[in-house]
Copies of this chain bind each other. A is one copy, B any other.
Amino acid sequence: MARIVRVAACQMGPVQRADPREATLARLIALLEKAAAEGARLAVFPELALTTFFPRWPIEDEAELLSYFEPEMPNPNVQPLFDRARALGVGFYLGYAELDRGAFDDGPGGDGAVRRRGYNSAVLVAPDGTILGKYRKVHLPGSERVRPGQRWQQLEKRYFAYGDLGFPAFRTEAPIGPGIMGMLICNDRRWPEAWRCLGLQGAEMVLVGYNSAAYDPNGGEGESAALRTFHSTLVAQANAYMNATWAVAVAKAGEEDGAGLIGGSCIVDPNGQVVAQATTLGDEVLVADCDLDATRQGKTKMFDFAAHRRPQHYRRIVDQVGVVPPS
Interface centre among A171, A192, A201, A272 (most CB of B within 10 A): A192
Tell me if A119 counts as interface (CB < 8 A to partner B): no
A–B pairs, 23, beta carbons within 8 Å: A138-B310, A139-B308, A140-B308, A163-B310, A163-B313, A168-B326, A180-B325, A187-B308, A192-B196, A192-B242, A193-B309, A193-B313, A197-B316, A200-B316, A200-B323, A201-B325, A230-B272, A234-B234, A299-B323, A304-B322, A311-B317, A311-B318, A317-B318
Smallest CB–CB gap between A163 and chain B, Å?
8
Specify which of B170, B190, B319, B321 is in contact with A326 (CB 8 Å cutoff): B170
CB of A196 within 8 A of CB of B231, answer: no
Smallest CB–CB gap between A168 and chain B, Å?
7
Smallest CB–CB gap between A80 and chain B, Å?
30
Q: How many Å lie between the Cα of A193 and that of B200 in the bound state?
A: 13
CB interface residues, A 180-196, toward B, < 8 Å: 180, 187, 190-193, 195-196
Tell me if A169 counts as interface (CB < 8 A to partner B): yes
Tell me if A104 counts as interface (CB < 8 A to partner B): no
CB of A167 within 8 A of CB of B318, answer: no
List 12 additional A-B contacts (Cβ < 8 Å) besides A237-B238, A238-B238: A140-B308, A180-B326, A191-B308, A192-B193, A193-B196, A193-B311, A196-B314, A197-B313, A202-B326, A231-B272, A235-B238, A311-B320
Residues of B within 8 A of A195 (CB): 192
Tell me if A275 counts as interface (CB < 8 A to partner B): no
CB of B139 within 8 A of CB of A200, answer: no
Residue of B nearest to A193 (CB): B314
Residues of B within 8 A of A271 (CB): 223, 227, 230-231
Residues of B within 8 A of A324 (CB): 200-202
CB interface residues, A 226-241, toward B, < 8 Å: 227, 230-231, 234-235, 237-239, 241
CB interface residues, A 199-253, toward B, < 8 Å: 199-202, 223, 227, 230-231, 234-235, 237-239, 241-242
Chain A contacts to B: CB under 8 angstroms = 138-141, 162-163, 166-171, 180, 187, 190-193, 195-197, 199-202, 223, 227, 230-231, 234-235, 237-239, 241-242, 271-273, 299, 302-311, 313-326
Residues of B within 8 A of A322 (CB): 200, 304-307, 309
CB of A311 within 8 A of CB of B305, answer: no
Residue of B nearest to A192 (CB): B192
Q: How many Å lie between the Cα of A56 and that of B244 in the bound state?
A: 25
